[in-house]
Amino acid sequence: MSGTLELQPVTGPFGVAVTPTGAPRYRLVARVTGLPAPSRLGSYTTYVAWTYTVTMDSAINLGVVHNGRTTLGEIDREQFRILVTAEAGSGARERSGRIVLRGTSPGARLLAHRDLMQAVAPGAPVLEAHRHDAERWRMPPMTAGSMMAMPGMRHLTPSIAPWLPPADTAAPMAQPRRVIDARDGDTLRLVAGLVRRTIAGRVVVMYGFNGQYPGPLIRATRGATLVVRFENRLDQPSSVHWHGVRLDNQFDGVPDVTQAPVPPGGSFDYRVHFRDAGIYWYHPHVREDIQQDLGLYGNILVAAPGAAWLPRVDREEVLALDDIILDDQGLLPYGADAPTHALMGRWGNVFLVNGEPRYALTVRQDEVVRFYLTNVSNARVYNVAFGGARMKVVASDGGKFERESWAASVVIAPAERYVVDVLFDRAGEIAFTNRVQALDHMYGVYSSEVDTLGTVHVTARADPNGGRAGFARLRVNRDVTAELASYRRLAARAPDHTLVLALETNDLPSPVSMMLNSLNVPMDWNDGMAMANWVTTGREVHWILRDAATGRENMDIHWRFKRGSVVKLRIFNDPTSVHAMDHPIHLHGQRFLILSRNGVPNENLVWKDTGLVPAGETVDLLVDMANPGTWLLHCHVAEHMGAGMMTAFVVE
Ligand SMILES: [Cu+2]
């Protein structure tokens, strides 16, 4: 007899489903062949599947298994074992019968790291010199409990020169973001320049748009066209990309694809036209790992003319979620010629909401607050919540969901947006937290991590006009379903193209390559290999988008589509790659629907421009190729794109 157990995605509004504490949620499906009649093994009547922790405690009865396909319950553990036993009945709380099948979750294989990383193990890494500019690099700060003292890694530094913005003491102190209410035909100025900031007690020189953090919040109306005069007063070339906005190709802000990079001292006029209501953002498309990380990002909130595109709430907050690496000397240097942290991206140790470490908001009890969340981080996926406050998910990147839904927490990948309405019905201090299951890649073990990004102070003086009464109802957006009907009909067809996500490495220091041993997990929620990640640059790591049909990679793919066509794109994130991880994939200039994950259909569609593809998953997108031009498709982890993970396609 034999069997396999599939970990099927649990569908929901986000890229992956997790519990409020960040544990993954999977639906288990068993496929078993060759089970004899239970009575042939003894006084048994049935077969039961069980799950245990890796140390074989905390049994959970998953239900009866038979030959063929059996849908079992949900599981919310990363690392577990499965047993199938013959039992006298199906309802027992502990197994007592004979074991017929046993298995281990992919996450439990990570435990093999412990053995691989022991210095006494055969093939254990040896010390290796890798000391370019070693004296100028500072080691990244390690989060509490993170393991980094692997033999041979202590003396490693990235293979490139370090870089920081000039210590310009004349740079102006940055100011908080201002709101620009823009009207059709307006001309705005957007100046990128050096600013000084004090973050968590450290004075640092960073970048800012118009001297602000984040850049100005631009409020506009659908159908409006703005001229944005961008001036580059940075010490390096730059550009502005209007993320999610389906504007004319020549204003998409991609150097060497839609425009020449804007040199220091130069300027460029962007004509930004808003076809769709939604929450968008803007950022440079040059060395995002540096420029975006240093503060060059801002939001655009596009409303529908006349009526509200979303129902009224008591208050609206537009929040950019970010993180940055600070040690006692200030910013950890970046790589001069290529990104550092090219394996997993640059994960900060200080969390920022709208550029500030401790977000604070005061509301009255019974107010409903609408949060427009944008993840502007280089690499981090968040799982955020406001204490136990109930959250209603209403919209994402490019518009409303077909149906609103409840969520206990919001999973948001880099560049994604989610719009959630939150009812604060209890007075007091409500923590705004990111709760994840953090993996130590060195030892293969998980631990709960909670970071507080801010606080909502709910005053006891209740708002008699608050939106509490209407909050209980989940709206069904028939207009969205009607608009999507013609697209939904195309969902069942075969994919037009398949992209495979993979990784190649060369010249890695041996302690680092030791860690890249194909023991992979679907999602990374922390930088669980801080030293190995830091020293790996875009020189040693090449992240790959591969066209499955032709074998062509990244900028050599050259897909062409007809304007107005609807294209089904399958993305397979190869879990056997030496270091697979999740990738948020972004398409410029177009919008898409996420049709399914591992074949499980998505029943609540929404227009997206960025979609999360966990390692091991196959995600089907339906792309509305409505906007002519040459556009990028890339991973929005800044360091992955900096290490090659992008392609361009033409809509003609
Ligand atoms: Cu990526």
DSSP string, 271-332: EEE--S-EEEEEE-SSSHHHHTTTT--EEEEEEPSSS-SS---SEEEEEEEEEE-EETTEEP
Expressed in angstroms and rounded, the spacing between residue 383 Cα and the centre of ligand 1 is 18
pLDDT digits over 380-433, tens only?
999 999 999 999 999 999 999 999 999 999 999 999 999 999 999 999 999 999
Expressed in angstroms and rounded, the spacing between residue 584 Cα and the centre of ligand 1 is 6
Expressed in angstroms and rounded, the spacing between residue 350 Cα and the centre of ligand 1 is 21
Expressed in angstroms and rounded, the spacing between residue 651 Cα and the centre of ligand 1 is 24
Q: Which of 502, 498, 514, 506 has the alpha carbon at shortest distance from 550?
A: 498
- Is residue 127 within 8 A of residue 151, CB to CB? The reply is yes
Expressed in angstroms and rounded, the spacing between residue 614 Cα and the centre of ligand 1 is 10
Expressed in angstroms and rounded, the spacing between residue 637 Cα and the centre of ligand 1 is 5
Expressed in angstroms and rounded, the spacing between residue 272 Cα and the centre of ligand 1 is 27
Expressed in angstroms and rounded, the spacing between residue 505 Cα and the centre of ligand 1 is 15
pLDDT: is 108 or 36 the higher one?
Answer: 36
Expressed in angstroms and rounded, the spacing between residue 587 Cα and the centre of ligand 1 is 13
Expressed in angstroms and rounded, the spacing between residue 501 Cα and the centre of ligand 1 is 9
Would you state the pLDDT for residue 308? 74
Expressed in angstroms and rounded, the spacing between residue 544 Cα and the centre of ligand 1 is 9
Expressed in angstroms and rounded, the spacing between residue 384 Cα and the centre of ligand 1 is 21
Expressed in angstroms and rounded, the spacing between residue 345 Cα and the centre of ligand 1 is 8
What protein residues have CB closer than 5 angstroms to ion ligand 1?
583, 635, 637, 640
Has residue 571 got a pLDDT over 70?
yes
Across the range 111-121, mean pLDDT stands at: 62
Written as six digits, the tokens of 295 are 């503060």
Q: Which amino acid is at 39?
A: S
pLDDT: is 644 or 123 the higher one?
Answer: 644
Helix (H) or strand (E) holding 633: strand 629-635
Expressed in angstroms and rounded, the spacing between residue 332 Cα and the centre of ligand 1 is 21
Please name the residues in contact with 158: beta carbons below 8 A apart, sequence gap of 6 or more.
Answer: 132, 133, 137, 335, 340, 534, 535, 536, 537
Cα–Cα distance for residue pair 339/538, rounded to 1 Å: 6
Q: Which of 34, 52, 41, 30 has the alpha carbon at shortest distance from 99?
A: 41
Expressed in angstroms and rounded, the spacing between residue 646 Cα and the centre of ligand 1 is 10
Expressed in angstroms and rounded, the spacing between residue 342 Cα and the centre of ligand 1 is 9
Would you state the pLDDT for residue 564? 96
What's the first-to-final CA gap in the chain, in angstroms? 54
Expressed in angstroms and rounded, the spacing between residue 428 Cα and the centre of ligand 1 is 39
Cα–Cα distance for residue pair 582/304, rounded to 1 Å: 34
How many C-beta atoms surround the C-beta of residue 53 within 10 A?
Answer: 14
Expressed in angstroms and rounded, the spacing between residue 541 Cα and the centre of ligand 1 is 12
Across the range 96-102, mean pLDDT stands at: 93
Expressed in angstroms and rounded, the spacing between residue 553 Cα and the centre of ligand 1 is 15
Expressed in angstroms and rounded, the spacing between residue 409 Cα and the centre of ligand 1 is 23
Cα–Cα distance for residue pair 74/71, rounded to 1 Å: 9
Expressed in angstroms and rounded, the spacing between residue 583 Cα and the centre of ligand 1 is 4
Has residue 126 got a pLDDT over 60?
no
pLDDT digits over 137-160, tens only?
888 887 544 444 566 677 788 999
Written as six digits, the tokens of 13 are 């509004």
Give residue for tokens 């994840």.
Answer: 436
Which strand ranges, in their side-by-side order, compose the sheet holding 267-273?
Answer: 175-176, 212-213, 202-209, 187-199, 225-233, 267-273
Expressed in angstroms and rounded, the spacing between residue 580 Cα and the centre of ligand 1 is 9
- Is residue 324 within 8 A of residue 331, CB to CB? The reply is yes
Expressed in angstroms and rounded, the spacing between residue 542 Cα and the centre of ligand 1 is 11
Expressed in angstroms and rounded, the spacing between residue 611 Cα and the centre of ligand 1 is 11
pLDDT-derived band at 127 (thresholds 50, 70, 90) equals very low
Expressed in angstroms and rounded, the spacing between residue 582 Cα and the centre of ligand 1 is 6
- Is residue 320 within 8 A of residue 354, CB to CB? The reply is yes
Expressed in angstroms and rounded, the spacing between residue 289 Cα and the centre of ligand 1 is 12
In angstroms, the Cα distances linking 339 to 286, 378, 510 are 12, 11, 20
Expressed in angstroms and rounded, the spacing between residue 229 Cα and the centre of ligand 1 is 31
Expressed in angstroms and rounded, the spacing between residue 464 Cα and the centre of ligand 1 is 47
Expressed in angstroms and rounded, the spacing between residue 641 Cα and the centre of ligand 1 is 7
Across the range 14-34, mean pLDDT stands at: 95
Cα–Cα distance for residue pair 611/636, rounded to 1 Å: 10
Please name the residues in contact with 275: beta carbons below 8 A apart, sequence gap of 6 or more.
Answer: 222, 223, 245, 246, 247
Expressed in angstroms and rounded, the spacing between residue 466 Cα and the centre of ligand 1 is 41
Expressed in angstroms and rounded, the spacing between residue 528 Cα and the centre of ligand 1 is 16
Measured CA angle at 337 (ends 157, 645), to 5 deg: 95
Expressed in angstroms and rounded, the spacing between residue 53 Cα and the centre of ligand 1 is 30
Q: What is the 3-state secondary structure (H, E, C) of 411-477?
A: EECCCCEEEEEEEECCCEEEEEEEEEEEEECCCCEEEEEEEEEEEEEEECCCCCCCCHHHHCCCCEC
Expressed in angstroms and rounded, the spacing between residue 491 Cα and the centre of ligand 1 is 26
- Is residue 525 within 8 A of residue 383, CB to CB? The reply is yes
Identify the DSSP state of 513. Answer: H
In angstroms, the Cα distances linking 164 to 75, 380, 535, 541 are 45, 22, 16, 22
Expressed in angstroms and rounded, the spacing between residue 151 Cα and the centre of ligand 1 is 28
Has residue 513 got a pLDDT over 90?
no
pLDDT digits over 450-493, tens only?
999 999 999 998 777 778 888 999 999 999 999 999 999 999 99
How many C-beta atoms surround the C-beta of residue 116 within 10 A?
Answer: 16
Expressed in angstroms and rounded, the spacing between residue 643 Cα and the centre of ligand 1 is 9
Cα–Cα distance for residue pair 227/14, rounded to 1 Å: 34
Would you state the pLDDT for residue 132? 57
Identify the DSSP state of 141. Answer: P
Q: Which of 202, 218, 219 has the alpha carbon at shortest distance from 210?
A: 218
Expressed in angstroms and rounded, the spacing between residue 164 Cα and the centre of ligand 1 is 24
Expressed in angstroms and rounded, the spacing between residue 621 Cα and the centre of ligand 1 is 17
In angstroms, the Cα distances linking 577 to 126, 504, 555, 615 are 24, 8, 20, 9
Helix (H) or strand (E) holding 486: helix 478-488
In angstroms, the Cα distances linking 283 to 239, 376, 597 are 8, 9, 29
How many C-beta atoms surround the C-beta of residue 67 within 10 A?
Answer: 15
pLDDT digits over 576-623, tens only?
998 999 999 999 999 999 999 999 999 999 999 999 999 999 999 999
Q: Which amino acid is at 137?
A: W
Expressed in angstroms and rounded, the spacing between residue 502 Cα and the centre of ligand 1 is 10
Please name the residues in contact with 616: beta carbons below 8 A apart, sequence gap of 6 or more.
Answer: 106, 520, 522, 573, 575, 580
Across the range 521-547, mean pLDDT stands at: 93
Expressed in angstroms and rounded, the spacing between residue 514 Cα and the centre of ligand 1 is 21
- Is residue 64 within 8 A of residue 72, CB to CB? The reply is no
Expressed in angstroms and rounded, the spacing between residue 285 Cα and the centre of ligand 1 is 16
In angstroms, the Cα distances linking 138 to 157, 168, 354, 581 are 8, 20, 27, 26
In angstroms, the Cα distances linking 151 to 77, 116, 124, 341, 533 are 31, 12, 9, 20, 15
Least confident of 92-96, 233-237, 240-244, 256-260: 92-96
Would you state the pLDDT for residue 92? 85
Would you state the pLDDT for residue 152? 67
